[in-house]
Amino acid sequence: MDGQRGVVSGARSRPTIEGAGVRLRRAFGYHDVPRFDPFLMLDDFHSENPDDYMAGFPWHPHRGIETVTYMLGGRVEHGDSLGNSGVIGPGDLQWMTAGSGIIHQEMPQRTEGRLAGFQLWVNLPARQKMINPRYRDVKAADPPVVRLRGGATVKVIAGEVEGARGPVRDIMVEPQYLDVTVPAGKGFEHAIARGHTAFAFVVEGEGRFAPDAKAPVGPEHVLLFGDGDGVSIRALDAPLRFLLVSGKPLGEPVAWGGPIVMNTQEELDLAFEEYGNGTFLKQKK
Ligand code: FE
């Protein structure tokens, strides 16, 4: 493949406290705008200690973004202002488009062993920030799993790998969301549309994320790729698992206030005013 993407930055996620006191790690967020455009934030939570996560994320609003929750272990119960409720378990994913507004809660359940998962925030283009909220629930068994000749196994949540299309479709930024496992010593190559932003987050093992990468990178690290036609990644002496996410940048102004992300300060002020006076929700039950 020509035009392999290089790695322009690699950093370890940082400990952060969110919600009502959940201890998690942030791979990128508010201070990284606009480098990951159209992605705003990636939180990585993994712990064997319920004290780290039981406080959860009680009722809070979102507007102007999509939140994508992907569980690797344990369960999160959710409920929202539209009357939806359910539990996201190991391997499940929820792609929530907040659009004009939703008020929800996300409460981790006490787990024997490890609670682990990710939340990614995807920005919405200006013309779609006020669309009706919607959900896509993806069960663990839904995404196709593709075994590549080189040895890698890819769970396709969004995007396409060798003709297998992920169940999450019709998203504004044309995202690709892959959960990739590469056996020890093997490689993985994958095309990514030129001009799209792409990053990887290492779940386990160590890898070289570009042909010219100087040092291997391990768990809790996020790698932002430069532009090019695709990525070429190699596992070292243990299996390597990582998320590979890409999407079309929006190139629009970002006005970000906590759980609400709009284009202007006026829109942000209006959102909080509406939340305060009870007119935030535009779509009724
Ligand atoms: Fe939320």
Query: How many whole angstroms from 164 Cα to the centroid of ligand 1?
Result: 30
Q: pLDDT digits over 50-69, tens only?
A: 999 999 999 999 999 999 99
Query: How many whole angstroms from 7 Cα to the centroid of ligand 1?
Result: 30
| Full DSSP string of the chain | --SBPPEEEEEE-EEEEETTTEEEEEEE-GGGTTTTTTEEEEEEEEES-GGGTTT-EEEEEEBSEEEEEEEEES-EEEEETTS-EEEE-TT-EEEEE-TT-EEEEEEEPP-SS-EEEEEEEEE--GGGTTSPPEEEEE-TTSS-EEE-TTS-EEEEEESEETTEEPSB---TT--EEEEEEE-TT-EEEEE--TT-EEEEEEEES-EE-STT-SS-B-TTEEEEE-SSSEEEEEE-SS-EEEEEEEE-------EEETTEEESSHHHHHHHHHHHHHT----S--
Query: How many whole angstroms from 191 Cα to the centroid of ligand 1?
Result: 32
Query: How many whole angstroms from 44 Cα to the centroid of ligand 1?
Result: 14
Of 29-38, 138-147, 167-176, 276-285, minimum mean pLDDT range: 276-285
Query: How many whole angstroms from 236 Cα to the centroid of ligand 1?
Result: 36
Between CA 129 and CA 167 the distance in angstroms is 23
Query: How many whole angstroms from 135 Cα to the centroid of ligand 1?
Result: 13
Query: How many whole angstroms from 104 Cα to the centroid of ligand 1?
Result: 6
Q: What is the pLDDT of residue 214?
A: 82
What would the mean pLDDT of 26-30 be, rounded to a whole number?
98
Confidence of residue 2 (pLDDT cuts 50, 70, 90): low
Query: How many whole angstroms from 85 Cα to the centroid of ligand 1?
Result: 13
Q: What is the pTM of this model?
A: 0.96
Query: How many whole angstroms from 61 Cα to the centroid of ligand 1?
Result: 7
Query: How many whole angstroms from 106 Cα to the centroid of ligand 1?
Result: 6
Query: How many whole angstroms from 58 Cα to the centroid of ligand 1?
Result: 9
Query: How many whole angstroms from 243 Cα to the centroid of ligand 1?
Result: 21
7-277: CATH number: 2.60.120.10
Query: How many whole angstroms from 212 Cα to the centroid of ligand 1?
Result: 38
Q: pLDDT digits over 168-224, tens only?
A: 999 989 999 999 999 999 999 999 999 999 999 999 999 999 998 888 999 999 999
Query: How many whole angstroms from 50 Cα to the centroid of ligand 1?
Result: 19
